[in-house]
Amino acid sequence: MKRFAVIGLGRFGKKLAIALAMSGADVIAIDKDREEVDSIRDQVSLAVRLDSTDEEAMKAQGVDKVDVAIIGIGQGTGKGFESAVLTVVNLKQMGVKNIYTRAEDLTAGEVFSKIGATEVIYPEIESAQRWAYKLIAPQIGEKIDFAPGYSLARVKSPPSFDGKTVMDMQLRQKYNVNLVAIKRSEDSKAKKSEKGDKGGIINVPMPNTVIYEGDILMVAGSDVNLAKLPQD
């Protein structure tokens, strides 16, 4: 079982600590505020009130033995940013290999990267970007980013795709995206008649494979091109 330390129990840190614990992880939740610590005590493995800039106090609670540490300390004041920086330094000195740090802006994130953070998390920026994309391209469902600006996404087949073959659609030529797989909808016209698609999944769509309205298409491409896929 992986061990996590979540340091800073504001909105981001608290939700992350609870989500990790609910997934079965061993979680140490840390904050300087007693109320925040008490509020999460029954939902994680260990909740501790301490100052994360105190290396010895962190070691006493076993933070040096965690697999991953996530710093969610609020940085609205200079003191908060300073505490987050010192916490990263402490974790590096303790030998914690994976250190993820929340940053409120790109400048702070650059500092964290330079002092040794494994990865920087930008909740506000990333949330805004997700919502902007969702509003611009509501036809795109779940999206997995596999490189900056490129994703694997779920797209519900619109009425304009109904009854057309993969060759007819010319997704690569028209939209510069690649069709990876098809999941037939529960009421798909083809689900009962097609053979060889276990559970309604077509792992390797062929040029003559027919697409129906409501099918779930797994497509890969740039976020810009995915957003251009038709909605109706």
User: Which residues contact residue 81 at a Cβ distance below 8 angstroms, ignoring those fewer than 6 apart?
Assistant: 75, 108
Dihedral (C-alpha) 6, 9, 14, 18: value to the nearest 10 degrees? 40
Q: What is the pTM of this model?
A: 0.66
Report the pLDDT value the prediction gives residue 196, as an integer from 0 to 100. Answer: 44
Rounded mean pLDDT, 134-148: 74
Do residues 143 and 149 touch, judged by C-beta distance below 8 A?
A: no
**Which range has the top average pLDDT, 85-94, 183-192, 193-202?**
85-94
Do residues 63 and 55 touch, judged by C-beta distance below 8 A?
A: no
Domains by residue range for the chain, with CATH:
3-122 (3.40.50.720), 134-226 (3.30.70.1450)
Any bridge partners for residue 70, and if so which? 6, 100
Q: Indicate the pLDDT class of residue 42, thresholds 50, 70 and 90.
A: very high
